[in-house]
């Protein structure tokens, strides 16, 4: 398939993107920024929509994004299930994960192998992240000697607040025994994924894990190692670019934040919760869909077969077939 043919498929899928669902009989609906969650008894059905969020707002939809994200996450859950127990019960459709409903732990675990993003911004201001003070003289995007864990809690606004291990235990946000299990699980998962990615020419730069408790047992929940929860860089070009002080080649949605700020400097990054979302150019949507596809392919080693189709209809059929609807 030529690049132009792929562009056409993506454009033709614009009208089929999944912006949301409303399956009342599936359970109580919690609409996240990206995923529609249905909760019934101890089962949670997570439908990954094609919504794209940035600056804490849902901005637009991207063809095939939900399917790619759910499939990347499911791929990792399957690969790591013997390493760390996870919440997956069933994947009845490319966009859908059926999981154990857990009591969520109010601390998210972020693992970083490089200094970039918000940890870099804090570092330049001389601030610690989650109580961790890094050595002097680091450059932006530099590899750290060892992984660091920078746990965070969610503020009401949805923003993350970094918090130290000591404070987590002091405030009794998590039991020490459980917290230690979370640390070990995070490092195990991260090491595994980093090695796996490197073999596919990708650097897993940093990632976020969420955990929950089910029948007294710790499970890794939410999504893992996806383009929405992690940062990926292209391994080949990293060293050369780093030496020259250039930014690494990125596979995530970071370019979109840049596009928003360049195109609408009066609106982004400080968009408020009720402000209207400005028009999003089809070109940037096509570009993003291609990036998500490229990372899907790099990460999983599977080709992504983009086909114009009615996503919602397929989900309904698959949920019916598996007796969820």
Ligand X SMILES: Nc1ncnc2c1ncn2[C@@H]1O[C@H](COP(=O)(O)OP(=O)(O)O)[C@@H](O)[C@H]1O
With 0-12 CB in 10 A as exposed, 13-18 as middle and 19+ as buried, what is 176? exposed
**Cβ of residue 260: shortest distance to ligand X, in angstroms?**
18
Q: Which residue lies nearer to ligand X by CB, 37 or 194?
A: 37
- Region 87-106 residues binding ligand X, contact defined as CB under 6 A: 87, 99-102, 104
Here's the x/- map for ligand X, 286-325, by CB under 6 A: it reads as ----------------------------------------
Here's the x/- map for ligand X, 54-73, by CB under 6 A: it reads as --------------------
**Any idea which residue has 């009989």 for tokens?**
25
**Cβ of residue 279: shortest distance to ligand X, in angstroms?**
24
**Cβ of residue 73: shortest distance to ligand X, in angstroms?**
10
- Region 118-137 residues binding ligand X, contact defined as CB under 6 A: none
**Cβ of residue 134: shortest distance to ligand X, in angstroms?**
28
**Cβ of residue 213: shortest distance to ligand X, in angstroms?**
9
Please give the size of the binding site for ligand X, defined by CB under 6 A.
Answer: 16
* Cβ atoms of residues 225 and 207 within 8 Å: yes
Q: Which residue lies nearer to ligand X by CB, 34 or 110?
A: 34
- Region 209-228 residues binding ligand X, contact defined as CB under 6 A: 210, 212, 221-222
Residue sitting closest to ligand X (CB): 32
**Cβ of residue 9: shortest distance to ligand X, in angstroms?**
26
Taking each helix axis from N to C end, the angle separating 65-80 and 282-300, rounded to the nearest 10 degrees, works out to 20
Q: Which residue lies nearer to ligand X by CB, 219 or 319?
A: 219
Which of 26-34, 111-119, 143-151, 163-171 is the region at the interface with ligand X (rule: CB under 6 A)? 26-34
Residue 21 touches ligand X, criterion: CB under 6 A? no
The single residue among 8, 14, 23, 32 that binds ligand X, judged by CB under 6 A, is 32
Residue 252 touches ligand X, criterion: CB under 6 A? no
Q: Which residues bind ligand X (CB under 6 A)?
A: 32-35, 37, 44, 87, 99-102, 104, 210, 212, 221-222
């Amino acid at each position: 398939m030529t690049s132009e043919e792929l562009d056409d498929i993506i454009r033709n899928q614009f009208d089929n993107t999944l912006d949301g669902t409303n399956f009342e009989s599936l359970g109580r609906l919690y609409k996240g920024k990206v995923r529609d969650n249905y909760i019934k008894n101890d089962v949670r059905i997570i439908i990954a929509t094609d919504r794209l969020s940035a600056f804490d707002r849902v901005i637009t939809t991207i063809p095939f994004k939900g399917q790619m994200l759910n499939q990347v996450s499911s791929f990792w859950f399957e690969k790591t299930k013997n390493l760390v127990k996870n919440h997956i019960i069933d994947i009845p459709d490319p966009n859908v994960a059926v999981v154990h409903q857990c009591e969520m732990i109010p601390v998210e675990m972020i693992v970083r192998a490089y200094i970039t993003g918000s940890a870099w911004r804090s570092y330049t201001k001389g601030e610690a992240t989650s109580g961790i003070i890094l050595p002097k003289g680091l450059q932006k995007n530099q590899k750290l000697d060892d992984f660091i864990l920078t746990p965070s809690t969610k503020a009401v606004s949805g923003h993350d607040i970094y918090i130290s291990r000591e404070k987590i235990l002091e405030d009794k946000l998590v039991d020490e025994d459980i917290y230690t299990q979370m640390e070990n699980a995070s490092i195990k998962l991260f090491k595994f994924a980093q090695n796996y990615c490197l073999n596919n020419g990708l650097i897993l730069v940093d990632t976020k894990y969420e955990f929950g408790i089910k029948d007294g047992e710790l499970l890794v929940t939410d999504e893992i190692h996806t383009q929405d929860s992690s940062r990926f860089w292209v391994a080949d070009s990293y060293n050369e670019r780093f030496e020259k002080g250039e930014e690494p080649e990125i596979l995530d949605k970071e370019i979109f934040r840049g596009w928003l700020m360049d195109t609408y400097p009066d609106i982004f990054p400080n968009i408020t919760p009720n402000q209207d979302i400005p028009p999003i150019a089809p070109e940037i949507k096509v570009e993003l869909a291609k990036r998500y596809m490229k990372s899907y392919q790099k990460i999983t080693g599977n080709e992504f077969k983009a086909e114009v189709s009615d996503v919602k209809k397929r989900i309904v059929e698959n949920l019916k077939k598996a007796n969820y609807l």
